[in-house]
Structure formats: C-alpha cells, structure tokens
Amino acid sequence: MKKIAILISCLLVLLVGACANTSEKAKTTTIHISAAASLKDTMDDVKPLFEKAYPSIKLSFDFGGSGQIRERVESGAPIDGVLLASKKDADTLSNQKLAENTKEFAGNDLVLIEPKNAEQKEGLSLEQLLHNADKIAIGDPESVPAGAYAKQTLENLNLYNTEKAKLVLATDVRQVLSYVEAGNADAGFVYQTDAILSKKVQVKAKIDAKLHDPIAYYSAQVTDSEKKEPTTTFLDFMNKSEAQKILEKYGFKAAD
C-alpha cells in the first residue's frame, strides 16, 4: 500500500507540473511587429531583452521598406504594431484610422557610401562624388524612406535630372548596402547606422540634414489588432532606456 501511495503522489506531482506548464504556455502571447529594414540588427538585440523582461510576450518580426509595411497594413495583413522610418507613412496610417498611438522613438543620418576598395580620393564634394559614379543605388523613393530622402537631396542640389539615369532602385535600404558591398553600384545612399554595420563600405559624405526631411522613426499600434495590451507594452518599451541604449549602440540618435 505504501508503494501505491508513493506512486500516486508522484503521479499527482507530475500532473500538477504538467498543468502548470500548460497554464504558462496558455498565458504566452505572440505579437507580430513589422519594422523598417534598417532596424533589423537592433531588433535582434531588443528581442531577447524585452522577452526576458516580459516573459508572457513573445515577439515575431518581419522587415521591409516603410512604404511596403504601410501597404501591408492597408491590405489587412495580420500585424499588431509597426516601427517605421517615415513620418509620411505613419501619418498616412493614422489618418486612415488604421494605426494609433504614434510615437517617435529614434532618429538617423543619411550618408553616401562607396565600396571599401574603391579608389581613395579625398576632398571631393558630394556633387563630385556623384558625378564620378556610374551607378548610384538608392531605395525606391515610392516605398523606401531612405530613397525618398536621397531623392530630396538630389533635387535640392539640382542634380536629380542629371543623375537620374544612373540610379539603381532597391526594395529597401539594406539592399542598397548589399549593392555597394558587392560592387554592383559605385555609390549608394544609406543610413549612418547601415554603414556602421559593414566592413565592405566606406562613408564618403554625410548628407546635410537641410537637404531632406527630418529622419525619424515612429512606432504605432495597428488599430484592428486583437493584442493591443501586449503590443502597447512593446511599443512603449522602445522609448525606455534599455531599448534606447541598444539604438544608441547601433548609431541611432535619440528622438527629438
């Protein structure tokens, strides 16, 4: 009888443990965040930090151009929150009542890069650098904020019509980086944070912020998300010191 009692006790312990584990799993919520391509490496660091602080919330990401993300939200894709590199796209979603609680959480700079092994010529102006390039990679201005800032820069320098035939359009800013790394473009416009990540490119010019709209990143809650509370928890986290330190490590600027 004693052995039977012990066996029953063990079974009860296992049963209680299994129920507890099932209960914990049931409490775990996965939220889906669509983020600008330039945030990918940052999110690789933010994800484990956030999930450790909030173990009941798991993060799932996809990355792309902010215009592409906006279009996905407009088409009803299953997205809970967005991290955009474009005020225009954030405002568009907000004005359509498709996103809410928009908040700025970071800033960036635009730079012109060339392959690391390109001939070193010092003291050249931005105009000279562009003139010397046969192919210039930029994100598609219609869907990639970095591309829109690049186009504004060229227009404000009265160079867009001159250099337009040289432009190689990319689906996002990371593709611009890869084009220049591979030597498929002689120069490219990317964010400072993208240039920092690569050992295969060199920054040839930092673009004057007066030549384009302010570069800022915005978080927003997708209005029809069924997981608003955990999504809000994550989006608020992006403005907290832990996430801001990671953003700073990758070269992002603090929000204005």
CA gap 197, 193 in Å, rounded:
7
pLDDT at 10: 46
Widest Cα–Cα separation across the chain: 94
**Residue 37 token pair:** 């391509």
Task: Tell me which amino acid residue 150 is.
Answer: A
Enumerate the β-bridge partners of residue 114: 202
Question: Model pTM?
Answer: 0.84
Q: What is the pLDDT of residue 22?
A: 45
pLDDT tens across the length of the chain (256 residues): 555 544 455 444 444 454 444 444 458 999 999 999 999 999 999 999 999 999 999 999 999 999 999 999 999 999 999 999 999 999 999 999 999 999 999 999 999 999 999 887 788 999 999 999 999 999 999 999 999 999 999 999 999 999 999 999 999 999 999 999 999 999 999 999 999 999 999 999 999 999 999 999 999 999 999 999 999 999 999 999 999 999 999 999 998 7
Q: How far is CA 8 from CA 19, 20, 180, 199, in A?
A: 16, 18, 67, 63
pLDDT of residue 119: 81
Which segments of the chain does DSSP mark as H helices, in order?
Answer: 2-27, 40-53, 66-74, 87-95, 126-132, 145-156, 160-163, 173-181, 192-197, 228-237, 241-249
The encoded tokens of residue 249 equal 């490590």
The structure tokens listed for 21 are 């584990």
Residues in the chain: 256
Dihedral, 168, 173, 178, 180 alpha carbons, nearest 10: 50
- Encoding tokens for residue 237? 């986290």
